[in-house]
């Protein structure tokens, strides 16, 4: 496949451009641009809830979660992708779709610093911040920032209504810790968070700080999970009744 041919035309007429040597891109093409249908179902349900002022995709990859759904027309769109090899395709995808997104090359974490980034050249979706035992010559140094810094925690955020997607291969809680300021001050927020690769301590942290919602597999509806302990949460996620890859988090009521 030539680079010029590496594209997926979606049912809505938009086009996703991808690296033809990336097996994730190849799989995305075979799946008509929707690699994780239930994840997209959750995201679309979240986006339809209200007129969000900000839509932020942390770990945007090729941009499929921004070009598949209908986005709030007046929202500020931010797409975050630290993988240089993938970001150029993301940029082209969003530009071609007419989405005026702010595209960020920094990795999102809980501090403003630098970190080692491990880009998976075979399956781009597993690219991530390297753990201490993974740092090697294949890593690149990337700048890290926080969502608080990116969205301006010093500003008046009373009118912010934030829809957030976080998929960073096990680093999700660090992203949320770095968003504590905006989550505390935004008038409304909801976040779709991948939990599949989280350590038990991170799942416990989510349980302590947020109300959790799961996608009921049968009804395709978001249900508030009635769980009070980590064991209860893990039982729900492994029961088959709810989609185990992602949860939606909201402010505790």
Q: Kindly state the DSSP code that residue 8 receives in the 8-state scheme.
A: E
Q: In whole angstroms, how far apart are CA 70 and each of 4, 9, 12, 110, 126?
A: 26, 16, 9, 30, 26
Contact criterion met (CB below 8 Å) for 178 and 111: yes
Range with the poorest average pLDDT among 129-138, 181-190, 239-248: 129-138
Q: Other C-beta atoms within 10 Å of 203: how many?
A: 18
Q: For residue range 17-28, what is the model confidence (pLDDT) as tens digits? A: 999 999 999 999
**Local confidence band at 4 (pLDDT 50, 70, 90 cut-offs):** low
Mean pLDDT, residues 222-227 taken together: 98
Return all residues near 120 (Cβ < 8 A) that are at least 6 apart.
126, 127
Write down the pLDDT at residue 5.
67
Q: 37-251 domain in CATH 1.10.3080.10?
A: no
Tell me phi and psi for residue 130, to 5 degrees. -75, 140
- Domains of the chain by residue range: 37-251
| Residue 53, pLDDT above cutoff 50 | yes
Strand partners, 166: 58, 193
List beta partners, residue 24: none
Q: Judging by DSSP bridges, how do beta strands 246-251 and 76-80 pair with one another?
A: unpaired
Does pLDDT of 3 surpass 80? no
Q: What is the mean pLDDT of residues 229-238?
A: 98
Model pLDDT, residue 70? 97
pLDDT band at 118 (very low <50, low <70, confident <90, very high): confident
More confident call, 251 vs 4? 251
Compute the mean pLDDT over every residue in the chain, rounded to the nearest whole number: 94
CA distance 42 to 165: 10
130 vs 118: CA distance, rounded Å: 5
- The values of phi and psi at residue 47, to 5°, are -65, -30
The SS3 assignment for 14 reads: coil
Q: How many residues does the chain have?
A: 253
Sole residue written with tokens 């769980």: 227
Three-state SS at 28: helix
* β partners of residue 16: 8
pLDDT in the model for residue 126: 84
Asked whether residue 140 carries a pLDDT value surpassing 90, the answer given is no
Q: Which residue has the tokens 């009921």?
A: 216
Look at residue 1 in the predicted model and tell me its pLDDT: 45
What is the distance between the alpha carbons of residues 10 and 156, in angstroms, rounded to a whole number?
38
């Amino acid at each position: 496949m030539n680079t010029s041919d590496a594209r997926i035309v979606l049912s809505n007429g938009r086009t996703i451009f991808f690296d033809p040597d990336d097996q994730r891109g190849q799989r995305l093409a075979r799946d008509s641009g929707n690699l994780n249908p239930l994840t997209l179902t959750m995201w679309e349900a979240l986006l339809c809830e209200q007129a969000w002022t900000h839509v932020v995709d942390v770990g945007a990859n090729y941009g499929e979660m921004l070009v598949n759904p209908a986005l709030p027309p007046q929202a500020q769109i931010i797409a975050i992708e630290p993988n240089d090899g993938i970001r150029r395709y993301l940029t082209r995808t969003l530009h071609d779709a007419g989405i005026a997104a702010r595209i960020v090359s920094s990795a999102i974490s809980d501090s403003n610093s630098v970190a080692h980034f491990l880009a998976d050249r075979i399956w781009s979706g597993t690219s991530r911040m390297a753990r201490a035992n993974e740092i090697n010559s294949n890593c690149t140094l990337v700048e890290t920032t926080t969502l608080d810094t990116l969205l301006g925690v010093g500003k008046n955020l009373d009118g912010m209504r934030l829809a957030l997607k976080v998929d960073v291969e096990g680093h999700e809680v660090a992203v949320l810790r770095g968003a504590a300021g905006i989550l505390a001050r935004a008038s409304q927020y909801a976040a779709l968070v991948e939990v599949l690769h989280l350590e038990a301590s991170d799942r416990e942290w989510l349980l302590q700080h947020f109300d959790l919602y799961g996608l009921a597999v049968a009804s395709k509806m978001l249900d508030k999970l009635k769980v009070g302990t980590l064991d209860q949460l893990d039982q729900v996620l492994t029961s088959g009744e709810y989609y185990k890859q992602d949860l939606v988090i909201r402010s505790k009521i």
